[in-house]
Amino acid sequence: NAGVTQTPKFRVLKTGQSMTLLCAQDMNHEYMYWYRQDPGMGLRLIHYSVGEGTTAKGEVPDGYNVSRLKKQNFLLGLESAAPSQTSVYFCASRPGVSNQPQHFGDGTRLSIL
Amino acid sequence: EDKVVQSPLSLVVHEGDTVTLNCSYEVTNFRSLLWYKQEKKAPTFLFMLTSSGIEKKSGRLSSILDKKELFSILNITATQTGDSAVYLCGAGGTSYGKLTFGQGTILTVHP
């Protein structure tokens, strides 16, 4: 049972480059989330989705775009990477019914030079 | 704006000690508070609390919620080196399961 799978695990980019992080879940969950984790700041919500074809902004959405074309996949895009986006990115998913925990992927470590 | 604050930010203990981690929250239309353990990679779920005064327990770990005073504690008794991790507290309201997380508490357990 794979759960939540994130690819890639590591990536180094140059300022201005673009890239897409992929999150895939095999639990048929309705809700999916993208977080970033920086030292001393816990997890901060970037964007989330409550179903196929829907997306919404979280706490820190600037500089990121997302898409959810299929229920099992949630993509996070950086159009023009900046050093401030160096972080560890986590994807999570949960069922759409009430009071369920989020399940996390192993994260993507992204460095922008 | 929703807010979650954890304390202490870091803690160093020896095996066998008991620790208490704190989490206070201010969340609109509060519904649940969750505790996660994060070692090298993915945060793993420990507890979900929705009602005041009802203790959740799993082995040496336990947690309780006080909805009047807006806080939760996570207790770990007889700590082991394998308990070394970052412990995250997240609180959510009624909006699509979104969680606001605290800064995390870094727990280090020495042999």
Chain A residues inside the 8 Å CB shell of B36 = 104
Q: What is the 3-state secondary structure (H, E, C) of A78-105?
A: ECCCCHHHCEEEEEEEECCCCCCCCEEC
Topology (CATH level 3) of domain B3-110:
Immunoglobulin-like (2.60.40)
Confidence at residue A60, expressed as pLDDT on a 0 to 100 scale: 95
Q: State the pLDDT confidence band at A1, using cuts at 50, 70 and 90.
A: low
Answer yes or no: do A94 and B99 touch at CB < 8 A: no
Chain B residues inside the 8 Å CB shell of A35 = 101
Answer yes or no: do A31 and B44 touch at CB < 8 A: no
Q: What is the mean pLDDT of chain A?
A: 95
- Count of pairs with CB atoms under 8 A, one residue in A, one in B: 57
- Cβ contacts of B54 within 8 Å, gap of 6 or more: B64, B65
Domains located in chain A, CATH noted: 4-112 (2.60.40.10)
Confidence at residue A11, expressed as pLDDT on a 0 to 100 scale: 96
Confidence at residue A103, expressed as pLDDT on a 0 to 100 scale: 96
Task: Return d(Cα A66, Cα A57) in angstroms, integer.
Answer: 9
Domain ranges of chain B: 3-110
Residues in a beta bridge with B21: B74
Chain B residues inside the 8 Å CB shell of A56 = 96
| Chain A contact probe: residue of B29, B41, B87 with most A CBs at under 10 A | B41
What would the mean pLDDT of A103-113 be, rounded to a whole number?
A: 96
Confidence at residue A66, expressed as pLDDT on a 0 to 100 scale: 97
Confidence at residue B92, expressed as pLDDT on a 0 to 100 scale: 92
Concatenate the DSSP letters of all residues of A33-84 into one string: EEEEE-TTS-EEEEEEESSTT--EE-SS-TT-EEE-SSTTEEEEEESS--GG
Q: Which of B35, B17, B32 lies closest to B73 in space, CA to CA?
A: B35
C-alpha distances in Å from residue B43, one per residue of A83, B51, B53, B82: 25, 23, 25, 15
* pLDDT tens digits for range A22-66: 999 999 999 999 999 998 888 999 999 999 999 999 999 999 999
Chain A residues inside the 8 Å CB shell of B43 = 43, 90, 104
Answer yes or no: do A102 and B34 touch at CB < 8 A: yes
Q: B65 to chain A, minimum CA–CA distance in Å?
A: 15
What would the mean pLDDT of A80-92 be, rounded to a whole number?
A: 97
Q: B103 to chain A, minimum CA–CA distance in Å?
A: 4
Confidence at residue A16, expressed as pLDDT on a 0 to 100 scale: 96
Q: Give the residue ranges of chain B where pLDDT is below 70.
A: none
CB-nearest to B45 from A33, A45, A101 is A101
Answer yes or no: do A42 and B103 touch at CB < 8 A: yes
